[in-house]
Structures are given as structure tokens and as C-alpha cells.
Amino acid sequence: MSIKTYGVVSGLPSLSSIFACLVGGPVIDAIGADKACVLFTFIVLLGNSMATVSVSLRSLSLLMAGQVVLGVGEKPLGSGQLVFIRLACDPAKVGFYFAVASAAYRAASFGTFILSPLVAGSSAYGFQASMWMGTILCFLSFLSAFPMLGKLKHLEPFLKAAPVVVGEEEGEEVILMKSNLEMEQVEEEEDGQSEDKGNSTSGEGSWRGWRAYFQGLCNLGFFVWLVAACALYITFFVLQTFAVEYLQTDHHLSARQAAFATSLFDVFGIFLGPFLGRCVDRELGKGEGNEWVCMSCRPWPAGSMLAWGSGFMAVGLLLPIVDPRSWLVGFVLISFGFALASAAIWPLMPLFVPLDSLGLALGVTTSLLETGEEKGR
């Protein structure tokens, strides 16, 4: 099997992940992020192993099946990791830990781009050797997921608790959602009152739970955040995709040189990400306008990092259009702007979504991002 054939079917994981994320999000919330990470890491290992073996056997059907399985586990695994970080770590350091995870992912992608050709070139088995190396790394990743098990056990009673009805407004029940900042306490009602209410609603707990679960996403804050996240990542992906063709046609770079140049988009995110994450944590820790910190107009990007990052990306995009010779400066601005915006966007999401719906929110978001990226290919 040629590398060209492998490249043709390499887009299958994106297609399967569009649907897998919609299912994977609720699975994360149902079984817990720690168990979900182990499950999805195993699925990734299985899909990668199938693809690697298929190349040796020259089986196109096995390769396609492996790529589909890989997509089922890959993106839901990323969602599970983010949920685990949010639940297992100090809430005051979520931005930092999210940024560290993102930087590690980008560094791994950049390292794969650099090392894969070296491994393939130094081995008699060619690109198959780099695929086997990837399978070994997937196996190590699967083993490293096991220490996560049980780390969220202390939160399970809270996350799985049924929603509490605290009153009625205009004939509709007011359901107390699980707060993402602190667990609110509700006093029990008087003996007779609470007894009657408990008896009358005993058969409705399941429906109320599902209703509250999906209601967690039905708010303006999450909608605005979702639009901002999709606009940011889909724009960045389209820029990366067309930058390769732009450098080849307008600046006569080779395919490898153009691909390497566009991979530099992630450089600032790798090195500055953790520092920028701490800036976000400090801003959110002030407790002033947390929910709309991304829309604030303060002069330093700690308060309006998303807006500033988008501005840098816009200037970086316009520079090569105005002066083609400044394409490198434009790429640097795009890289820096994306580092700012991506450091701010993910710590903001838990502010709009209840803790027990984080998996659902990330699943919906990732599915939309994959759909947008697929359209932009």
C-alpha cells in the first residue's frame, strides 16, 4: 500500500468524529471523565493498530475501518481530558492547566511532523516504521490513562445528584442547576410541605434530570462562547490549509517547506501558552464580570485576550495581502494572536455550563468544529 493511498483515507477520522463527539460527550458525563479517558484511549489504540496492520497486509478495507475507529476515540478523548482537568484541578488554575494540555498537544503534533520523516527515512520499512512508532506511543498513552481512575470519586455524589426544584415561576418549575463555581446548598422545607412535594414528584426525577442536563447549554453565554470558539478555530484551520498552497504558488516554496512554515503557527502556543493561561486565571480570579471577561475592553490582554488575539490574527491575515513580502511577519502575528485567543477561550466555557454537562458541551463544540473544518478542506 502506497503512502498516497493512506493519505486519501486519512480524512475518515474527521468524518466519524463528527458523530462520535455527540455521543461521546454524554458518555463522559455519564461514566465520569476518568473512565471515559481510559475508554477513548483504548479506542484510539485499537484504531491506530488496525490502520498500522492494514498497511503491512495491504488491506484497504481494514485501513478504512481503522481510520473510522480512530475518529470515534480521538476527539472524544480530547473532550474527556478537558473535563477531567476542570474537575480534578484547582478551579483557580484551570486556565494554566488547559494551556499546558494544549501546549503539550501542539508540541506533540509539531514533533510528529519533524520526527515521522526522519524515522521513515532511517528505516528500511519506510513510512510503515513511523506508523508502528505511533502505535507504540498510543499504547504508552493507554497505560498512562489508568492512574486517572478514581481521581474524581469524591465528586460523583454531587455530579450524579438529581436536580432540586426550588419553586415555581409563572406555572413553570425553577430547577436548581449544579453551579460551576460552587455547590449551592438548599434548605429543606417544613416537614409536611417537603413530604407532600417529595411524594408528588417521585416519578418525575428521571425526566427532570434529563431536562436539567440539556438545559445547562440553553443560555446566551454558552451560545456566544460557542460562536466565538467556532469562528476562531475554523478560521485558523482554513488559514493553515490555504497557507500551504499560498506559499507554494506565490513564493515558490516546496511542499515540505510550505508545510513546515505553516506548522510554525503553533510555536507561540507551545511556549507562551502556560504563561497566558496564568494571565487568564488571574483575571478570572478577580471575580469582576467573569462571564463576559472575553468581551471586556481592558488595555492588557489579560482581560480581553480573546479580542486582542482575534485582532492580531486579522492584521496578520491582511499583511501578506497588502505586501506579499511581509508574509513571514503576518504568519508570526497569526501565531501570536491564536496563542492569545486559544488561551482565553477554553477556561471561559465552564463559566457558562454546569459541571455535570461539561462533556455534552464539549461534545457539541467539537462536533461543530469538525464539521466546519471538513467543509473548509
Q: Does a structural domain hold residue 197?
A: yes
* Inside any domain, residue 139: no
Q: Which residues contact 122 (CB under 8 A, 6 or more apart)?
A: 129
User: Is 346 a domain residue?
Assistant: yes
Query: Quick one: 197 and 305 in the same domain?
Result: no
Residue 175 forms beta bridges with which residues?
165
The pLDDT tens digits of the residues spanning 42-94 come to 999 999 999 899 888 888 899 899 999 999 999 999 999 999 999 888 888 88
pLDDT in the model for residue 377: 61
What SS3 state is found at 273? helix
Q: Where are the alpha helices (DSSP H) in 123-217?
A: 127-145, 156-159, 191-200, 205-215
In a domain, 166, yes or no: yes
The DSSP bridge partners found for residue 164 are 176
Q: Name which of 255, 256, 236, 250 is nearest 331 in CA terms.
A: 236
Boundaries of domain holding 327 = 218-352
Instruction: Kindly state the helix (H) or strand (E) to which residue 50 belongs, with its residue range.
Output: helix 33-57
Whether residue 251 sits in one domain with residue 228: yes
Q: How many Cα atoms within 13 Å fall on the side-chain side of residue 145?
A: 24
Q: What is the per-residue pLDDT for 238?
A: 84
Measured distance CA(144)–CA(146) in Å, rounded: 6
Q: In terms of domains, do 247 and 347 share one?
A: yes
Q: Is residue 362 part of a domain?
A: no
Residue type, 330: G
CA–CA separation, 77 vs 89, rounded Å? 18
Residue carrying the nine cell digits 485567543? 341
Question: Nearest CA to 358 among 163, 83, 155?
Answer: 83
Domain membership flag for residue 115? no
Same domain (yes/no): 340, 231: yes
Q: For the chain, what is the domain count?
A: 2
232/245 same-domain check: yes
Indicate whether 324 belongs to any domain.
yes
Which three three-digit cell numbers place residue 94?
A: 484551570
My answer on whether 270 and 342 are in the same domain is yes
Walk along the chain (377 residues) and give the pLDDT tens digit of each residue.
566 666 667 778 888 999 999 999 999 999 999 999 999 999 999 999 998 998 888 888 998 999 999 999 999 999 999 999 998 888 888 889 999 998 888 888 777 777 777 777 777 777 788 888 889 999 999 999 999 998 887 676 666 655 544 444 454 444 444 544 444 333 333 344 444 444 444 445 566 667 777 887 888 888 988 998 998 898 888 888 888 888 888 888 887 788 778 877 888 888 888 888 888 888 777 655 444 444 444 444 444 788 888 889 999 989 988 888 888 899 899 989 999 888 888 888 888 888 888 999 999 999 999 888 776 56
Check whether residue 313 and residue 272 sit in a common domain.
yes
- 240, 313: one domain: yes
Which residues have CB under 8 Å from 317's CB, separation 6+?
A: 239, 330, 334
* Domain shared by 262 and 346, yes or no: yes
Contacts of 328 (CB under 8 A, 6+ apart): none
Residue 15 lies in a domain: no
235 and 324 belong to one structural domain: yes
Closest CA relative to residue 324, chosen from 245, 251, 267: 251
Other residues' Cβ atoms within 10 Å of the Cβ of residue 40: 26
Residues 184 and 223 both lie in one domain = no
Query: Would you say how long the chain is, in residues?
Result: 377
Cell numbers standing for residue 253: 516554496
* Co-location of 304 and 258 in the same domain: yes
Q: Is-contact 46 77, C-beta < 8 A? A: no
